[in-house]
Amino acid sequence: AQSVTQPDIHITVSEGASLELRCNYSYGATPYLFWYVQSPGQGLQLLLKYFSGDTLVQGIKGFEAEFKRSQSSFNLRKPSVHWSDAAEYFCALGNYGGSQGNLIFGKGTKLSVKP
C-alpha cells in the first residue's frame, strides 16, 4: 500500500543552522513526490516536487530535496534556517493510478526556530 512517513513530529533548530526533514515513502512504481509548507492559519504552499530526472530538486525559499530510490526517501534540506521558516512541513506522494490522482500526505513535521 502507498504511504508516506515523516518520522519527526517536531523539530527545533537555531536560526542560521542547517535543516533536514525526513520523509520516507512506500510505492510500487516511480513516485511523484512533493513537499508542502503550511504556516499557522494558512493553506498549503508547494515548496518543490520530484517527478523524474535529476534527483536533487531545488524549490522556493532556498529549500532543496534529494530523492533516493534505494532508501525510499525524499528528505528536505535548507542550509541556513530563517525565523520565518517556522511552520509545518508535509511530504506527499502522488497517487497517479489513473489519469490524474490525489496526494497521500505524511503526518507533517512542525518546525520551530530558536533565535
List residues near other proteins by CB under 8 A. Answer: 32, 34, 36, 42-46, 49, 51, 90, 94, 96, 98-108
Q: How far is the CB of 4 from other proteins (least distance, A)?
A: 10
User: Nearest-CA neighbor of 3 among 20, 24, 33, 30?
Assistant: 24
Q: How far is the CB of 109 from other proteins (least distance, A)?
A: 12
Tell me, what amino acid is at 8?
D
Q: What is the 3-state secondary structure (H, E, C) of 2-58?
A: CEEECCCCEEEEECCCCEEECCEEECCCCCEEEEEEECCCCCEEEEEEECCCCCEEE
Q: How far is the CB of 16 from other proteins (least distance, A)?
A: 30
